[in-house]
Amino acid sequence: MKKISILILWLFLWVSLGWTRVYINIDAPGQERMPIAISTFISKGDPQLGLRAQTILKKDLDYTGLFSILSPETFLEEKPTLEVDFKKWQLIGAYLLIKGKTEVKNDLVYLELVLYDVRKGLQLLGKRYKGTPRDIRYMVHKFADAMMEVLTGEPGIFQTKIAFVYASKTRKEIYLADFDGYHPRALTRFRSICLSPKWHPKGDKLLFTSYKRGKPDVYLVDLKQRKAIRLIHYPGLNIAPAWSPTGDKIAVTLSKTGKQGIYLVDNKGKIIKSLVLSSGINVSPAWSPDGGKLAFVSDRSGSPQIYVLDLSSNRIERLTFEGHYNTSPAWSPKGDFIVYSGLKDGHFQLFMIKSDGSIIKQLTYNNTNHESPSWSPDGHFIVFSQDGKICILRLGDGEIFPIVDLPGKQTQPSWSPRLNK
């Protein structure tokens, strides 16, 4: 009896400690933004470096929508220091405080960042990074990820990338950019039509469709070796590839028999078996995170709708019944929802449907087209293309903002998994 009561006490303690550890519950709706002060960073060597680090960190925190960053005009500190007088920060209403210092020594940059709980007078996180001046952005992203892990129990998405299709007048190429649209750059220079980039679950490879050899085939790019090979090239269409969550199999639409079907192929491009072979159009397979189900688009009812194939029972069930044109399904990282693009009142809008079809939420409303949604690895954001511009939808508050600043059209974004190096 005594043992049990001690066990219960321990359990209680453990649970309550667990609760206090999570500062921000992202999934709770209507959360107030947490007031945070970012003290002016100390810069030794290059005075611009501290300011740059501070600006990048501020942008990262803004991206999450979870913080209200306090105006430096109210700060009581006279000059930047690494010492903390918690009272001065409590007075201006800060719950959290970040102090930082940059230093340049022998062409190397040292960045020191500390996160404090102002109300408790506690240090929550302290990190020191070293690198070249060019790395400063990625050092700050690293800290921001660690900070999110301390505050929410899960790392952020600051070390992720987004692949997309960049369309010029005559061709389409695959491009890469950081999660915030920074540094957009060409991945392919195929001088052809390239479409539908999809990340490997490990983040080191990408699949896409290209007309490089005159017809649509699936290509594989290895990001480390910077090599491209033609992986899947059966007669007819080879389009819309999607890696299984384990990364050893690929679902892809082929039409080698004349019928368009979804097939399972291995990592060498060899067909393992057919998954969906009914007449009509079957495209855009999307795996459930447990690998047990596959959402896809079919026109078997007369118009494109989302269907779900259960891979263990081989049963296919129709998921969407509202609207006449629903495409581009993407399964949430937690597996509870599927986001898709559906035609409503003349425009494509994003919708989120429970994977059992029970609840539908419309996510976008304005009179533009919202297409090709892809989830962030933490499931708190969706990247999509809005009339040819890459935009982020923040699910917490429904805020939409563009990220990639390029001329021309950008479409079909695909969010990478976490790429912690």
Partner 1 sequence: MKRENWLILILAVVFIFPMACAKKQVVVPSAVSEQPAAPKAEAEKAITVTGEKEEGAVEGLEEKISEEELAKQEKMKREEILKQEIASFENEDIYFDFDKYNIRPDAAEVLKRKAEWLKQHPNVHILIEGHCDEWGSEEYNLALGERRANSTREFLINLGVNPECVSTISYGEERPTVVPPAYCENVRQFLLNRGLRPNHAPVSVTGTKITLEMINTCESAWAKNRRCHFVVVKY
Told to check if 378 binds partner 1 by CB under 8 A, we report no
Closer by beta carbon to partner 1, 87 or else 189: 189
From the list 277, 276, 216, 206, the residue with the least C-alpha distance to 243 is: 206
Told to check if 227 binds partner 1 by CB under 8 A, we report yes
Closer by beta carbon to partner 1, 179 or else 190: 190
DSSP, res 256 = T
Closer by beta carbon to partner 1, 102 or else 260: 260
**Contact call for residues 237 and 216 (beta carbons, < 8 A):** yes
Interface pick for partner 1 out of 372, 376, 386, 410 (rule CB under 8 A): 372
How many residues sit in the footprint of partner 1 (CB under 8 A)? 54
From the list 340, 334, 336, the residue with the least C-alpha distance to 307 is: 340
Told to check if 202 binds partner 1 by CB under 8 A, we report no
User: Least CB distance from residue 363 to partner 1, whole Å?
Assistant: 17
Burial 262-295 (b: 16+ CB within 10 A, else e): bbbbeeebeeeeebbeeeebbbbbbbbbeeebbb
Interface pick for partner 1 out of 211, 247, 289, 336 (rule CB under 8 A): 211
Neighbours of 395 (CB within 10 A): 21
Q: Where are the beta strands (DSSP E) in 118-170?
A: 122-131, 161-167
User: Least CB distance from residue 174 to partner 1, whole Å?
Assistant: 8
Segment contacting partner 1 (CB under 8 A): 33-41, 95-103, 123-131, 323-331? Answer: 323-331
**Contact call for residues 358 and 324 (beta carbons, < 8 A):** no
Interface pick for partner 1 out of 152, 355, 386, 411 (rule CB under 8 A): 411
**Contact call for residues 320 and 306 (beta carbons, < 8 A):** yes
Interface pick for partner 1 out of 102, 328, 355, 386 (rule CB under 8 A): 328
Closer by beta carbon to partner 1, 2 or else 185: 185
Interface positions, 147-186, toward partner 1 (CB under 8 A): 172-173, 185-186
Told to check if 318 binds partner 1 by CB under 8 A, we report no
Interface pick for partner 1 out of 297, 338, 350, 353 (rule CB under 8 A): 297
Told to check if 214 binds partner 1 by CB under 8 A, we report yes
Question: How many whole angstroms separate alpha carbon 83 and alpha carbon 99?
Answer: 9
Residue 19's contacts (CB-CB under 8 Å, 6 or more residues apart) are none
Dmax over CA atoms of the chain, in Å, equals: 78
Told to check if 39 binds partner 1 by CB under 8 A, we report no
Closer by beta carbon to partner 1, 30 or else 214: 214
Told to check if 325 binds partner 1 by CB under 8 A, we report yes
Told to check if 271 binds partner 1 by CB under 8 A, we report no
Segment contacting partner 1 (CB under 8 A): 7-15, 94-102, 122-130, 298-306? Answer: 298-306
Closer by beta carbon to partner 1, 72 or else 235: 235
Which helix or strand (DSSP H or E) is residue 18 part of?
helix 2-21
Segment contacting partner 1 (CB under 8 A): 126-134, 206-214, 270-278, 310-318? Answer: 206-214
Told to check if 346 binds partner 1 by CB under 8 A, we report yes
Interface pick for partner 1 out of 2, 3, 79, 226 (rule CB under 8 A): 226
Told to check if 350 binds partner 1 by CB under 8 A, we report no
Told to check if 73 binds partner 1 by CB under 8 A, we report no
CA torsion sign, 84 to 86 to 87 to 89? positive
Partners of residue 242 on adjacent β-strands: 251
Told to check if 409 binds partner 1 by CB under 8 A, we report no
Partners of residue 349 on adjacent β-strands: 342
Told to check if 110 binds partner 1 by CB under 8 A, we report no
Question: How many whole angstroms separate alpha carbon 66 and alpha carbon 28?
Answer: 11
Told to check if 407 binds partner 1 by CB under 8 A, we report no
Told to check if 30 binds partner 1 by CB under 8 A, we report no
Burial 203-236 (b: 16+ CB within 10 A, else e): bbbbbbbbebeeebbbbbbebeeeebeebbebee
Q: How far is CA 191 from the centre of its chain?
A: 28
Using CA atoms, how far residue 117 sits from 36, 87, 94, 156, 355, in Å, is 10, 12, 9, 19, 39
User: Least CB distance from residue 255 to partner 1, whole Å?
Assistant: 6
By CB under 8 A, name the binding residues for partner 1.
172-173, 185-191, 193, 195-196, 209, 211-212, 214-216, 221, 225-231, 236-237, 239-240, 253, 255, 258, 260, 281-284, 297, 299, 303-304, 325, 327-328, 341, 345-347, 367, 371-372, 411-412
